[in-house]
Structure 1
Amino acid sequence: MTLSACGVRPTPVLTGAEAPTVSAHELTVYLVKAELDGLVRRTRSYTGTVDTATAINLLVAGLTDEEKKLGLVTEVPATSSRVFAVSNVIVLPEDMGPLSKWAQVQLYCTAIASRAKVEGVPGPGIECP
């Protein structure tokens, strides 16, 4: 029996980069009270990279089971399309159609809260609950 080697020499232990980490974030979305007379803040957890569009996408995804049980509602139309942030502009999908006053306020307050938390940008002075 004959053994041969392919000529690859042993190498020392090679160290790699640090192991990847997963970060969890808490983002604020705004929903409409059951009485339809104001907004309430809700905190949702999200794992992964976040930006202002992430919070808007959480809002567009609809209510959680807990939020439904609390009687909260949303005027933001649900869509499976993604929302994108381009510089300081949020680009909404065309299939969302015209937005009601409450939907506009929900989107605005969610974007402002997210931008303040994620990007460290202070709000413009317009009060959201």
Structure 2
Amino acid sequence: MLTGAEAPTVSSHELTVYLLSAKGDELVRRTRDYTGNVDTATAINLLVAGPTEDEKKLGLTTEVPSSSSRVYAVSNLIVLPEDMVGLTKMAQFQLYCTAIASKAKLEGVPFSGVECP
């Protein structure tokens, strides 16, 4: 019989990001699988990374600028990198809806009273 430490566990989550339709005039809800520890900033960082290849094939886009810096969550506040200035209205909606959907999922609270698709 061999003894040792407990086997490592991997945590897998479904996170929601909001992209834009091909015309750029509507938010589109997308679910992505993510393995590892997550918080609201994780979902925002997935959004900042841009659409996946499959999402690009569907014509989905983003107005959230990419950044070489990471987004951080501090309490109930999302801290964006300094190079993310002058966000468009649609980029702000994308960030807001992604943060709200993530918080609802991770904390198990209802996603209601919010104008996101």
TM-score by length of 1: 0.84
Q: When the two structures are aligned, how many residues end up with a matched partner?
A: 117
Bigger-Rg structure (1/2)? 1
Where 1:95 maps in the other structure, the secondary structure is coil
Q: Which residue in 2 is equivalent to 1:19?
A: 7
Larger relative contact order, structure 1 or 2 (CA cutoff 8 Å, min sep 6) = 2
Structure 2, unaligned runs of 5 or more:
none
- The residue type paired with residue 27 of structure 2 is L
1:4-31 Cα shifts (integer Å, max 9, x gaps): xxxxxxxxx8955532201111100000
Query: Deviations along 1:23-64, whole A, 9 cap, x unmatched?
Result: 111100000101122111011111100010000000001110
Listed as ranges, the gaps of 5+ residues in structure 1 are 1-12
Q: Return the offset for 1:69.
A: 0.7
How many percent of aligned residue pairs carry the same amino acid?
Answer: 77
| Matching residue of 2:108 | 120
TM-score (norm 2): 0.92
Tell me how far apart the structure 1 counterparts of residues 86 and 112 of structure 2 sit (CA, whole Å). Answer: 25
Aligned equivalent of 1:103? 91
Give 1:73-112 correspondences, 5 Å limit: 73-112=61-100
Displaced runs of 4+ in structure 1, greater than 6 A? none
